[in-house]
Structure 1
């Protein structure tokens, strides 16, 4: 963690939203362990994906065209605030990936050349995404000082095993978020209020490719899918990512409504599709068909919205804390019950026709 004295923001520079348990984080990891990973079980697949990354199919994709050259003052009020918040969160998330991949590439160079180059090229993609999103914020006379954030934001340490689980899920859930929005707006172009959504089809292919790389990394490490511990960790990370997604979507429901999407249905579709996709990599997937699965996730979201409401009140901090406790306890209880729902053994299903 780096502590610095607060500085006055420059004109047009947006102060990042306060860090919470739901905001995108910056990560660091055990680079020594990463460098010593045995990739032999998936080396052929990783080399094939490296060739795809070198081809750089999207190198001409992230170029702003004339459709951006107009005033966006007509997007105002709550719609403007919700969209800027969406751009900010997405930009920080992509920039977080860039920083982690860039540092992995630097630390692994000379130790694990295959992984070092893969991470270098993934960092390239994430930097493009973050820059494109930050330029979009510029259309609303705001931008993030990303260089300053690298020095002031808290870095969270994750063991490399956790990084593999979480980045895989992050990339795959990102794919489903982008492609579902893109397909919806193809059918309802009247809701496409800003040109960035036209870029989501190729954009999500970057997410999918990155996810496939991390799938190969995961399957190259037997301890991440063959052991009983791997089953418990898989359930934990699946539930963590899905809970974060559900809470975040409902906190920003106005943005999804502005696209003509029902936030609850969008969230459920993303969770369902990501869970099905994760079953190809993880030893288990969650039982989203269980009658209590989505209702309990929704209850967590409802309690979280109460927490947001309490935070926004003008009550003393002590009163807020006391009011929050039963809601936090209720979220934890519902998550525990969700975790205890028997998962689906995907290893047992491999090779069967479904």
Structure 2
């Protein structure tokens, strides 16, 4: 007779943030397999009488209704990239040097633990709060659970400010860069490689483009007081059908991470202008992915108050988010948004993913303080 699968313990939202992070991480939730964790989160939130709870697929939302002058959304995703023999979690080091190792500790169950702990602890916030826990962030954008919530329940996401608990090492990172991916197709003419002069080598035709990309400076752009660093890179190249055939086609995939001062169309125009300026005969540019950036939004009173609280408690000043995050989805809704969460973002998705325990405590304390301090 087969033994019943082990029962996952319920989440204790009153435990310390470290214990809660471990409990979340030790329930694997690779994108597409978030149901068990979403069930645990939903059950824990429904036990809190001060919150209204809504479930949509494997996304869970909960909100207060206190009639406050402002409402903020605090959001985080439940899924992770695939596990790489880095679960269950391990706690290494002691005291201020202690680190929690394992998949999801940085991206981003440490942030989710901070959310859940605050949702339980802050029963009468000075701003109404909508807590959002969503699925499928680490995969194709069309599957993104936050995007689905925007379509199904836009009224739940209306707010004066959104905080996305992505890893930022406990500092506020405002807005985000946009991202553009294009395929540049370069034509040639096939020939036997023993008589290469009879053909036109499409891979060789890519040389001016590759050199232009290699020479392109990483521009720094100031937007609303924060400095964003752009990048323009070749990320894939394909061409050729056999080792004895001059290739008649080459495709270079180019990724442009552009500052939020640019609109998506302006970003496309810049890349097209670069390719057109090279004068490569027959070169064609096709946009395959495009997501807008988000301005910092730190001029909003709620965001300014949050930044002031974080700086007072940690000494950390706001910086620009150079990668793309879901703050851009809030920006499209007209909601200013910032990134704030525990863990070094450079360790996200790494096999040695690990989060300082001090970051967990700092982020919980800062978020709780901001939600409870008088606003006037």
Q: Fold-level match, TM-score > 0.5?
A: no
Relative contact order, CA 8 A, sep 6+: which one is greater? 2
Identify, as 1 or 2, the structure richer in strand.
Answer: 2
Identify, as 1 or 2, the structure richer in helix.
Answer: 1
After TM superposition, the score normalised by the length of structure 1 is: 0.26
Bigger radius of gyration, 1 or 2?
A: 2
